[in-house]
Amino acid sequence: MFDKKTKPYTDLLGKTNRIVEGTIIKGDIVSQADFRLDGELIGNFQTSGKIVIGPQGSITGDIICKNADIEGKFNGKIQVEEILNVKSKATIHGEVTVGKLSVEPGANFSASCAMNNIVKKLLLNDGKEAQQKTS
């Protein structure tokens, strides 16, 4: 009678997880939904949605995601399936693999960059990565 049904991950799309300014996380994060980070992450991040790194946010580690907006700091390796938007106050160091790239004037973009349309990264529900070749 009072059993709650668990929502499938598709119901989470459009909802955003949030880590606020002043919060420091050491470890890896795996999320099926969109994510906004205004704090600090020291570790890896993986989502089948979008990551937004706010102006006070920073990540030191690797990111795998569908879309990304970076306004804060990132140091590591990032793989974005679709579009990476680098805002004017962003600082990026490391290695970038994207479908499409947008960099605003004023951004500090010190990274190797590859635009990759041949191999798409897919995220499975358990957070493991798979590759699918597109024709």
pLDDT digits (tens, 9 = 90+) for 37-81: 999 999 999 999 999 999 999 999 999 999 999 999 999 999 999
Prediction pTM value: 0.77
Q: Is residue 130 part of a domain?
A: no
pLDDT at res. 116: 77
pLDDT at res. 125: 42
Domain count, the chain: 1
Tokens of 28: 């890896």
**Low-confidence winner among 4-8, 46-50, 79-83, 100-104 (lowest mean pLDDT):** 4-8
Q: Is residue 133 part of a domain?
A: no
Q: Is residue 55 part of a domain?
A: yes
Is residue 46 within 8 A of residue 64, CB to CB? The reply is: yes
Q: Is residue 81 part of a domain?
A: yes
User: Which residue range(s) make up the domain with 32?
Assistant: 16-122
In angstroms, the CA 20 to CA 40 distance is 9
Phi, psi torsion values for 50, nearest 5 degrees: -110, 140
CA 91 to each of CA 9, 60, 65: distance values in angstroms, whole numbers, following the listed order:
32, 12, 18
Q: Is residue 129 part of a domain?
A: no
pLDDT at res. 99: 93
Q: Is residue 78 part of a domain?
A: yes
